[in-house]
């Protein structure tokens, strides 16, 4: 049972059985908690009362008390994390906090929640729950140690580290083992998936880290998850969140602007040739281990592997995204798809006769039949009637060594609304970027939240004094040849004036590559001492740490650096954005959604493409000013922000920086001392 401090007004019971004040009566308590003499002040270094933070906390507490929904946009520096944590820890009952990234998930669990809990002396238990791929699996580690299927000497060293880690860890969370990179291939061999987990049949079930994390989450008052986990569970019922939902009184989504993309990913269905190749690998290993005389296992899996690889090769390009109707009927793709179906069915027939020999072979049989079902279901009949809310896009995505077949819902709103029905509870959606010029319609329509209460709290920063928005003159059309070089010509004098200390945010990986080549060359030629950090050279966390330490670095990145990146102080004084972040026009899902909008008489660009780009741009712009003492320049290079009628809507959604088109004004800003 959660308790409220003695000086809080009398509380009432909720359906969840936790103490909850009636709406409104918590306002005075929040004023006290966030006020100058309140408990947060001594507990949080540099804490200062902020009106917007206090008001947001009141709105969150109201939504909790009335078990309603709130869309809350809080500008950078508002302190939104504490604004939702304080009422959630005091009055939220069983609370699930879902974040956009595992990094923020760890920050909440390891730093923010313990700080607030200690300051409030709130007797709440907290658990961290991640997807099963984050936890070492005893069974798969043992199997890998025995089989020794290592591809490199590096993997052998990593395996030794993981084996040692297993003996010392309480959580089994790979984030605790810094010596092995998070993206190292070895993790695939020592963690479980939904398909290859033995469940209660496993000899290590009692010690299983995944089960232990789920049990702790069920017993905790506050559970921290991430959006991928939340929606994977809603779709697959495999992560432990489904067991938490019935008892949850409050659900908070931080970085909620990411929800439409994440939910779309999980409410759809994907079949991948890499899943087929993984299955073939396991069938061969388990067949030889447990039923060597049951079949010629090499002859059983080779045709399936070949068919999967041949399907990928029907698209000669490296990266492809095509909707099903865009694939020519004469393409080799359709016969290759049929060949894979037949080869998979043949392998499944062999598994059917041998599965009883071992639990692991039975697992392979189940996986084989699931894959065959998903492959058979991937077909679109244009004449078939589809129920409203069940419309989907069928499309293909090719990567360097795999091919994915996707079925993606046109709208996630009906599915998400279905998840929200039932037990009354509060739903809080918060981010620094949910609205376009204080209008929440775009986000609300995507998530099925139209008509729900929404509020905006502006940033406390003095953007007019702290920064400049610079749109240079004379740049060519963003789609023209050599555009990236034209941007760099404009950027070099500004980077030099800023003394490095720059983020160059690009909309494509091709632009990242070209910018890195050119700047490396220019810095050497001009004798500029600015260390260059390029996305892909190292992991994101390592790049950011080195950028901060350098103090005069230039970091070039694409989408993953536009958000969730916090560099305070002088190390970052210039953010350059090469182009407005419009979604690629060849995106099959976007094309289908726009087509539906236009059939309803709406303008797809104005109603979807533009709001989406503005929200992304606000994220990128938000990297610049992270603190009251920060100063800097946002250099937005795309001339469409001035030349196109929609440009005004874009810059009016950005922070209220002073605006200029003069290079000299920007150089003066960097060379003059702040007042």
> Residues 129-185: pLDDT tens digits?
988 889 999 999 998 888 766 667 888 889 999 999 999 999 999 988 888 887 788
More confident site: 38 or 148: 38
Q: How far apart are CA 251 and CA 422, in angstroms?
A: 14
Whether 6 has a pLDDT exceeding 50, the answer reads no
Mean pLDDT over residues 46-70, rounded?
93
The model's pLDDT over 308-334, given as tens digits with 9 standing for 90+, comes to 999 999 998 777 888 888 888 889 999
Average pLDDT over residues 481-508: 95
C-alpha pair distances (Å), 610 with each of 291, 441, 607, 648? 58, 13, 7, 12
- Cα–Cα distance measured from residue 571 to residue 503, given in angstroms and rounded to the nearest whole number: 10
In this prediction, residue 193 carries a pLDDT of 83
CB 477 within 8 A of CB 639: yes
E strands present in 558-631: 574-577
**302 pLDDT higher than 90:** yes
Q: Which sign does the torsion angle of CA 438, 442, 446, 452 carry? A: positive
pLDDT class for 1, splitting at 50, 70, 90? Answer: very low
What pLDDT, on a 0 to 100 scale, did the predictor assign at position 25? 57
Reduced 3-state DSSP string for 229-298: HHHHHHHHCCCCHHHHHHHCCEEEECCHHHHHHHHHHHHCEEEEHHHHHHHHHHHHHHHHHHCCCCCCHH
Joined together, the tokens standing for residue 223 give: 């559970």
**Structure-block tokens of residue 62:** 């109201």
| Interval 485-502 mean pLDDT | 96
What is the rounded CA–CA span in Å between residue 84 and residue 59?
Answer: 9
Mean pLDDT of 403-410: 91
Distance CA 671, CA 87 (A): 45
In the predicted model, what is the mean pLDDT of the chain? 88
Work out the percent of the chain whose per-residue pLDDT is above 90. Answer: 56
- The mean per-residue pLDDT over the stretch 220-224 comes to 94
Query: Given this model, what pLDDT does residue 589 score?
Result: 86
> What pLDDT score was predicted for residue 587?
85
Find out whether 275 and 370 touch, Cβ atoms under 8 Å.
no
Q: What is the pLDDT of residue 230?
A: 87
- β-pairing, 392-398 vs 320-323, is antiparallel
CA distance 472 to 666: 10
H-helix or E-strand spanning residue 511:
helix 509-526
Burial zone of 310 (CB within 10 Å; 0-12 exposed, 13-18 middle, 19+ buried): middle
C-beta of residue 380 within 8 angstroms of C-beta of residue 387: no
CA-to-CA distance for 255 and 98, rounded, in angstroms?
Answer: 9
Strand 426-431 and strand 250-253: the pairing is: parallel
Give the pLDDT mean for 75-84. 93
pLDDT reported for residue 71: 97
Confidence band for 18, pLDDT divided at 50, 70 and 90? very low
| pLDDT over threshold 60, residue 5 | no
Question: Tokens 């034209």 correspond to what residue?
Answer: 486
Residue 17 pLDDT > 60, yes or no?
no
User: What is the pLDDT, as a whole number, of residue 385?
Assistant: 72
The pLDDT score that the predictor gives to residue 106 is 86
- Domains belonging to the chain, first-starting first, are 269-409 (1.10.275), 463-671 (3.40.50.300)
How far apart CA 183 and CA 161 sit, in angstroms, is 15
DSSP 625: -
Res 2 pLDDT > 50: no
**pTM for this model (two decimals):** 0.85
Q: Provide the CA 18 distance to its chain's centre, in angstroms.
A: 32
Give mean pLDDT, residues 613-626: 91
- Count of C-beta atoms within a 10 Å radius of residue 35: 13
Rounded Cα–Cα distance for residues 66 and 557 (Å): 43
Q: If DSSP codes are grouped into helix, strand and coil, which group holds residue 668?
A: helix
Confidence of residue 13 (pLDDT cuts 50, 70, 90): very low
Kindly tell me the sign of the dihedral angle through the C-alpha atoms of 280, 285, 287, 293.
positive
Average pLDDT estimate for 271-276: 93
According to the model, what pLDDT value does residue 3 have? 29
Residue 121 has pLDDT above 80, yes or no: yes
Residue 68 confidence (pLDDT) above 80: yes
**pLDDT at residue 675 greater than cutoff 70:** no
Residue 308, Cα to own-chain centre: how many angstroms? 29
Residue 8 is predicted with a pLDDT of 29
Instruction: Of 132-136, 390-394, 589-593, give the range with the top mean pLDDT.
Output: 132-136
Residues ≥6 apart with Cβ < 8 Å to 270? 404, 405, 406, 407
Interval 289-311 mean pLDDT: 92
Q: How many other β-carbons are positioned within 10 Å of the β-carbon of residue 421?
A: 6
Q: Give 584: exposed, middle or buried? Use CB within 10 Å, 0-12, 13-18, 19+.
A: exposed
pLDDT in tens, 626-659: 888 889 999 999 999 999 999 999 988 999 999 9
Query: Is the predicted pLDDT of residue 307 greater than 50, yes or no?
Result: yes
Among residues of the chain, what percentage have pLDDT more than 70?
93
CA distance 529 to 526: 9
- Least Cα distance to 33 among 94, 105, 86 occurs for 86
Instruction: Band the pLDDT of 22: cuts 50, 70, 90.
Output: low
Q: pLDDT tier at 400 (50, 70, 90 boundaries)? A: confident
Classify residue 174 by its DSSP letter.
Answer: G
**Residue 224 near residue 99 (C-beta atoms within 8 A):** yes
Quick one: which of 583, 578, 675 has its CA closest to 634?
578
pLDDT for the residue numbered 151 = 65
Q: State the DSSP string of 473-490.
A: SS---TTSTTHHHHHHHH
Average pLDDT for 68-78: 94
Which ranges constitute the DSSP H helices of 67-169? Answer: 80-91, 102-107, 113-120, 138-147, 153-168
């Amino acid at each position: 049972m959660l308790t409220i401090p003695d000086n809080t007004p009398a509380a009432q019971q909720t359906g969840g059985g936790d103490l909850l004040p009636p709406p409104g009566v918590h306002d005075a308590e929040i004023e006290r908690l966030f006020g100058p003499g309140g408990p947060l002040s001594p507990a949080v270094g540099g804490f200062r009362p902020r009106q917007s933070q206090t008001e947001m906390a009141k709105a969150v507490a109201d939504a909790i008390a009335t078990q309603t929904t709130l869309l809350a946009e809080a500008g950078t520096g508002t302190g939104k994390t504490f604004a939702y944590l304080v009422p959630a820890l005091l009055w939220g009952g069983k609370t699930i906090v879902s974040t956009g990234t595992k990094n923020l998930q760890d920050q909440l669990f390891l730093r923010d929640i313990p700080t607030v809990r200690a300051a409030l002396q709130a007797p709440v238990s907290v658990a961290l729950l991640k997807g099963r791929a984050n936890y070492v699996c005893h069974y798969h580690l043992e199997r890998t140690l025995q089989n020794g299927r290592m591809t490199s000497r590096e993997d052998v060293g990593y395996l030794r580290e993981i084996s040692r880690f297993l003996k010392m860890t309480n959580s089994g969370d790979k984030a605790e083992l810094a010596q092995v990179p998070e993206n190292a291939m070895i993790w695939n061999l020592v963690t479980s998936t939904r398909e290859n987990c033995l469940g209660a049949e496993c000899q290590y079930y009692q010690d299983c880290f995944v089960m232990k994390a789920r049990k702790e989450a069920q017993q905790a008052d506050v559970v921290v998850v991430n959006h991928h986990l939340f929606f994977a569970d809603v779709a697959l019922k495999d992560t432990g969140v489904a067991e938490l939902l019935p008892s949850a009184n409050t659900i908070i989504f931080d970085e909620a602007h990411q929800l439409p993309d994440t939910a779309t990913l999980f409410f759809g269905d994907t079949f991948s040739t890499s899943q087929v190749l993984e299955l073939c690998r396991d069938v061969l290993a388990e067949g030889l281990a447990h039923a060597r005389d049951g079949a010629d296992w090499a002859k059983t899996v080779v045709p399936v592997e070949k068919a999967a690889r041949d399907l990928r090769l029907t698209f000669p390009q490296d990266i492809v995204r095509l909707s099903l109707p865009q694939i020519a009927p004469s393409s080799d793709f359709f016969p290759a798809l049929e060949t894979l179906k037949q080869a998979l069915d043949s392998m499944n027939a062999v598994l059917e006769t041998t599965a009883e020999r071992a639990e692991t072979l039975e697992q392979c049989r189940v996986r084989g039949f699931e894959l065959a079902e998903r492959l058979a279901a991937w077909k679109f009949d244009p004449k078939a009637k589809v129920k409203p809310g069940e419309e989907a896009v069928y499309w293909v995505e090719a990567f360097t060594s795999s091919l994915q077949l996707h079925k993606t819902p046109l709208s996630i709103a009906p599915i998400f609304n279905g998840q929200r029905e039932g037990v009354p509870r509060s739903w809080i959606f918060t981010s620094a970027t949910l609205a376009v010029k204080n209008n929440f319609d775009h986000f609300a329509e995507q998530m099925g939240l139209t008509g729900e209460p929404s509020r905006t709290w502006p940033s406390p920063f003095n953007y007019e004094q702290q920064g400049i928005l610079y749109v240079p003159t004379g740049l060519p059309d963003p789609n023209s040849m050599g555009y990236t070089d034209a941007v760099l010509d404009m950027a070099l004098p500004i980077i030099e004036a800023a003394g490095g200390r720059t983020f160059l945010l690009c909309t494509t990986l091709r632009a990242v590559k070209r910018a890195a080549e050119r700047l490396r060359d220019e810095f050497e030629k001009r004798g500029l001492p600015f260390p260059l950090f390029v996305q892909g050279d190292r992991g994101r966390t390592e790049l950011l740490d080195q950028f901060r330490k350098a103090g005069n670095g230039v970091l070039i990145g694409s989408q993953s650096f536009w958000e969730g990146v916090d560099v305070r102080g002088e190390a970052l004084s210039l953010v350059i954005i090469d182009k407005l972040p419009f979604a690629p026009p060849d995106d099959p899902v976007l094309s289908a959604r726009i087509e539906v909008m236009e059939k309803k008489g709406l303008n797809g660009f104005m109603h979807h493409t533009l709001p989406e780009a503005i929200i992304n741009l606000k994220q990128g712009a938000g990297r610049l000013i992270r603190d009251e003492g920060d100063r800097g320049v946002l250099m937005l290079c795309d001339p469409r922000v001035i030349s196109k009628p929609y440009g005004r809507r874009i810059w009016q959604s950005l922070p209220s920086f002073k605006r200029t088109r003069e290079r000299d004004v920007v150089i003066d800003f960097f060379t003059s001392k702040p007042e």
